[in-house]
Structure 1
């Protein structure tokens, strides 16, 4: 009898303790982040720590990867099926990975509150034609114009406002007025504008949307490249400013945007048009003391629309913990976290409620004007084109560079883009 009671007690202990032991081991997730600025890294780590503290059953390991290496890192991870549970990337390559079948459709894992709060244009960047969603968009940016207030005042220029923005014609006229040959030697010491056009494709593609130029059109269920009048409109302006009015600094043709800051600080360039909103951080933190600068609203063509990819959080199909990964993303992109993450990167939160809060409506460092530009952001058609990355790298970028350098004409560039671009797309749309 005693031995029977002991066995029964032992069995009861085993049965009752087993679930407790199983629940005591948290699910471990690996999260790959691309944050690189000091403030951004701090915001990401704070958000991860907060999510870990809020849910002891799911613990997230933070892993840093660079933007330069993430494409190769993910490609290798998918091939080896040794994937992170959540990764940070950009919507255009994310949708290319989705087409390969290596990502999780998150459409049923996203809470209704988050779905309704994130801007519709941001969701469009990660949503397939069949309604599948392959990432949660949490950051995006617009292209703005940063200007020297003192040079504007000296030239007597009207400052465009959100209510009354410049047209592209007004912008060109202002750039010409701000271009000054001070010593009469035929070479301006001050240029109205400096476009950073060493890698011109993203800027051209996204700003062309305001003219109605999309470059990629659906034809019989597939995409083709076309360069018509709407696509040529911005290219004509860039060429006119470079070679006719000469109001755009020639050195900016071969410069990246960060290389233009020195000339902007010294007064050589009055405006940095079409630069990303992130640039305000560099100016605020590294510019000369008391440097008087501001932000102008997006320049208006037919509209002020701009294409914009989003920064995203996705779950690989090979992850063993999809539900827990989605729970982490929901926590990570909460209203409070989304605001902090965006502010840390000097970008915009995709959550509309976050964008309405501080610091995004602050006048300091151009936040209010910059934030207002987010309402013009949308998905450009190129973001859903299979093979776009190859067309961009092999055709668009080198052709734009040749045209801007004056080695080929605009019409030659248009023909080259259509011929070579469509030859590449034919491989993807068989």
Structure 2
């Protein structure tokens, strides 16, 4: 999901947004203005200019067509949204309509902070979004968000380097296997010369990438026992993708070691300079590449490799939710329905350079063009599945305290697979147990 994976939790950021939301609440508290107008606050996490512009334009269009229900756009940030929302929920100042990501909703849904949308949404919207996407926002018996944008991982490749090497380029219909990817990387690295690498894996936030791509290896990691509680079991399928990454870095020397601890943007200068031929990135990074690539630089979008699990990968879609405490749930639901009409969903997808979940929007010709790799992304949409930890309570803590350092050490070669498995399972299940008593 791009920036959603970099949630740093700073007290200053929490306080800043709480003050923003509190100020907005005091000035636009429902019908307290005395003019009979319903006022809703919409917390948006849009951050790229095109996306912010699209969201603000849609809010403006809604307000022009609905003078009795005014929506105020409130700018939030992916960098600390979880703690920002928790503070606003507990303070009774939550926005009415909330933009977030599905992997951040579990604790809020189970905690009673979000409204169950099952009786609020129109049939048009519920039927347009596939069941696989709705699974990402279903917790227990309720649905607590509308999944509307998603992004697969893809390989962004230096077109000249990969085409001149003579290797077979993968397509959505005939992707590389993970083992073939290792062979291709060896050949590319050999032809590129000393100090250059076929692959750069920017894994500053390694957990989501590992788990989501791990579905193609047949991995699952999180399992439900007979008592309904989530347990972590690291099996052979879960090891397929981590083993390839580790081997590329430490054994094959086809992937850069120095870029492991970096974010996706940090890999781009080396990519543009020809140091790396391919970089696995979220689909939305295409916008940054299109804007920053030097003159004459040619790039292409390739599908990620596949394993025994097939051409699938996990995603955590962006979502729109309604606060349980809002006094205007029907109006908030109507605004969400407006935002996610097919034509509007296309505008939001283009603004964020992501894929819409809606089938009508996904069929739009603008999202199926070959330019900038749109057609590759839409071809991958059929293989997108809910991220493995989608409904697991305690996932954020497990990710931060257990999984992130364990995977980082594994990829660097500091620990082996036995220790990785031990830490993920032993320490991880202790964390999850605290949330499932």
Q: Work out whether the TM-score is over 0.5.
A: yes
CA displacement at 1:358 relative to structure 2: 3.3
TM-score by length of 2: 0.90
Name the CA shift for 1:277/1:182 in 2 (closer, same or farther; >3 Å): closer
CA displacement at 1:24 relative to structure 2: 6.2
Match of 2:250 among 236, 243, 255: 243
Question: What whole-Å deviation, never above 9, does each CA across 1:114-149 have from its counterpart, x for those lacking one?
Answer: 11111222111111232x111111111100011111
Contact 2:148 2:319 in 1 (8 A): yes
Match of 1:271 among 278, 281, 291: 278
CA displacement at 1:153 relative to structure 2: 2.2
Match of 2:220 among 201, 208, 214: 214
Question: What whole-Å deviation, never above 9, does each CA across 1:326-365 have from its counterpart, x for those lacking one?
Answer: 1111111111111000110001111111011132101111
Contact 1:180 1:189 in 2 (8 A): no
Residue in 2 that maps onto 1:25: 36
Q: Is 1:35–2:46 an aligned residue pair?
A: yes
Please give the alpha-carbon distance, in whole angstroms, between the structure 2 residues aligned to 1:23 and 1:417.
56
Please give the alpha-carbon distance, in whole angstroms, between the structure 1 residues aligned to 2:50 and 2:433.
44
Contact 2:250 2:412 in 1 (8 A): no
CA displacement at 1:181 relative to structure 2: 7.3
Residue in 2 that maps onto 1:135: 145
Q: Is 1:402–2:409 an aligned residue pair?
A: yes
Contact 1:214 1:380 in 2 (8 A): no
Residue in 2 that maps onto 1:15: none
Q: Max radius of gyration: which structure?
A: 1
SS of 2:318 mapped into structure 1: strand
TM-score by length of 1: 0.91
Question: What whole-Å deviation, never above 9, does each CA across 1:378-401 have from its counterpart, x for those lacking one?
Answer: 113311111111111110001111
Question: What whole-Å deviation, never above 9, does each CA across 1:148-175 have from its counterpart, x for those lacking one?
Answer: 1111122111111122111111111111
SS of 1:146 mapped into structure 2: strand
Please give the alpha-carbon distance, in whole angstroms, between the structure 1 residues aligned to 2:83 and 2:422.
32
Please give the alpha-carbon distance, in whole angstroms, between the structure 2 residues aligned to 1:24 and 1:172.
66
Contact 1:200 1:401 in 2 (8 A): yes
Please give the alpha-carbon distance, in whole angstroms, between the structure 2 residues aligned to 1:202 and 1:357.
29
Residue in 1 that maps onto 2:383: 376
Contact 2:301 2:373 in 1 (8 A): yes
Contact 1:198 1:254 in 2 (8 A): yes
Residue in 2 that maps onto 1:385: 392
Mark the runs of 5 or more structure 2 residues left unpaired by the alignment: 1-32
Contact 1:217 1:223 in 2 (8 A): yes
Match of 1:77 among 72, 88, 92: 88
Contact 2:110 2:139 in 1 (8 A): no
Contact 1:181 1:189 in 2 (8 A): no
Match of 2:307 among 288, 301, 307: 301
Contact 1:36 1:66 in 2 (8 A): yes
Q: Is 1:159–2:169 an aligned residue pair?
A: yes
Contact 1:210 1:304 in 2 (8 A): yes
Please give the alpha-carbon distance, in whole angstroms, between the structure 1 residues aligned to 2:127 and 2:189.
47
Residue in 2 that maps onto 1:229: 236
Q: After TM superposition, where is structure 1 displaced by more than 3 Å over at least 4 residues in a row?
A: 180-183
Please give the alpha-carbon distance, in whole angstroms, between the structure 2 residues aligned to 1:371 and 1:175.
26
CA displacement at 1:289 relative to structure 2: 1.4
Q: Is 1:284–2:290 an aligned residue pair?
A: yes
Please give the alpha-carbon distance, in whole angstroms, between the structure 1 residues aligned to 2:164 and 2:196.
13
CA displacement at 1:182 relative to structure 2: 6.5
RMSD: 1.5
Mark the runs of 5 or more structure 1 residues left unpaired by the alignment: 1-21
SS of 2:189 mapped into structure 1: coil
Please give the alpha-carbon distance, in whole angstroms, between the structure 1 residues aligned to 2:413 and 2:80.
33
Residue in 2 that maps onto 1:316: 323
Question: What whole-Å deviation, never above 9, does each CA across 1:224-263 have from its counterpart, x for those lacking one?
Answer: 1111111111111111111111111111212111101011
Residue in 2 that maps onto 1:7: none
SS of 2:139 mapped into structure 1: coil
CA displacement at 1:37 relative to structure 2: 0.4
Please give the alpha-carbon distance, in whole angstroms, between the structure 1 residues aligned to 2:419 and 2:83.
34
Which 10-residue stretch deviates more, 155-164 or 388-397?
Answer: 155-164
Residue in 2 that maps onto 1:99: 110
SS of 1:179 mapped into structure 2: helix
Match of 2:184 among 169, 174, 177: 174
